[in-house]
Amino acid sequence: MHKSPSGSLGPGGLDLSQVFFKPIHNTSPPSPTKRHTKISVVGTGNVGMAIAQTILTQDLADELALVDAKADKLHGEMLDLQHAAAFLPRTKILASTDYSVTVGSDLCIITAGARQIPGESRLNLLQRNVTLFEMIIPPLAKYSPDSILMIVSNPVDVLTYIAWKISGFPSNRVIGSGTNLDSSRFRFLIADHLDVTAQDVQAYIVGEHGDSSVALWSSISVGGVPILSFLEKQEIAYEKETLENIHKAVVDSAYEVINLKGYTSWAIGYSAANLARSILRNQRKIHPVSVLAKGFYGIDGGDVFLSLPAQLGRGGVLGVTNVHLTEEEAQRLRDSAKTLLEVQSQLGI
């Protein structure tokens, strides 16, 4: 299922690249600082292919490997992408049901898992996906022992913890997509209320990617202006219920999309590619992603992954931002951690 060797179109497999181009003399080898970037995507469903397509259009990798259990669909997806080569940056695209195709990956993105049923909580998906991860993570760790794992499958926080435990990787190299997309939805809704672009809104959703997530209202700013303190100084009244309704709309937005079209794909595709860019290009940007949270903001009681504003770069998670939280926000974050720890304990993990 691999791509044909480049240039071998002549009689008997003759390498035409040697005769099609005239060599340049007195050349030097490529700079050792130039690196070959490889991304592997496990799972070629709607989410996996949205991520793959976004990676290609944003020119984030020199090589893209796709893995899925359904061989025919996988081969078709690979061909469909390869046939768009004339319209895309040059990327080698491979596909196989064998995990050896992922060898040497810089970043492995896992999207495989059972599809969320309309109205189903993300946490209810867990039991069906843990067994799957026990088959996926070991070969990825074997073929790419120095890679970074990015978990997108839901429920993402507990599955990121599962991936960390199974892989044996240091915690900085296991990341969940977490609330990066939730925060984008949050910024969009705030921007829509204020009639500004979402790029000028600084706002985070933290905690579980799901029902117990926490909106950090105290740190929201627009164009550098802290919103709540501005309203207070101007003596402009606002209702806490209005704020809660915006947060509820964020939590319910994925369910709404699923009810309308059956699945989510494009937004998470852009979100995952956004994280991949920050990691592989060492941009050191801050994203709310699922990280090992024990010891931060008073979270204790066991190892748990949940979303905190974290700086991402070539080494994965470089650090967690010291965002000021109100006592209410900090308590809600600790409660979110307890919710996830309870689920883990029920699984005997």
Q: Give me the active site residues, please.
A: 209
Would you state the torsion angle of the CA atoms of residues 92, 58, 277, 177, taken in this order, to the nearest 10 degrees?
A: -90
The SS3 call for residue 9 is coil
The SS3 call for residue 282 is coil
Say how far apart CA 289 and CA 309 lie, in whole Å.
Answer: 7
Question: Residue type for 345, please?
Answer: S
Q: What number of other Cβ atoms are within 10 A of residue 94's Cβ?
A: 18
Where does residue 223 rank: exposed (0-12), middle (13-18), buried (19+ CB within 10 A)? Answer: exposed
Question: Residue type for 266, please?
Answer: W
Say how far apart CA 318 and CA 285 lie, in whole Å.
Answer: 10
Question: Residue type for 113, please?
Answer: G
> Is the Cβ–Cβ distance between 140 and 164 less than 8 Å?
no
Which letter does DSSP use for residue 86 in this model? G
Of 289, 273, 275, whose CA–CA distance to 321 is shortest? 289
Say how far apart CA 169 and CA 186 lie, in whole Å.
Answer: 32
Residue 117: partners with Cβ closer than 8 Å, 6 or more residues away: none
Of 67, 266, 28, 307, whose CA–CA distance to 179 is shortest? 307
Of 221, 189, 226, 178, whose CA–CA distance to 203 is shortest? 221
> Is the Cβ–Cβ distance between 290 and 176 less than 8 Å?
yes
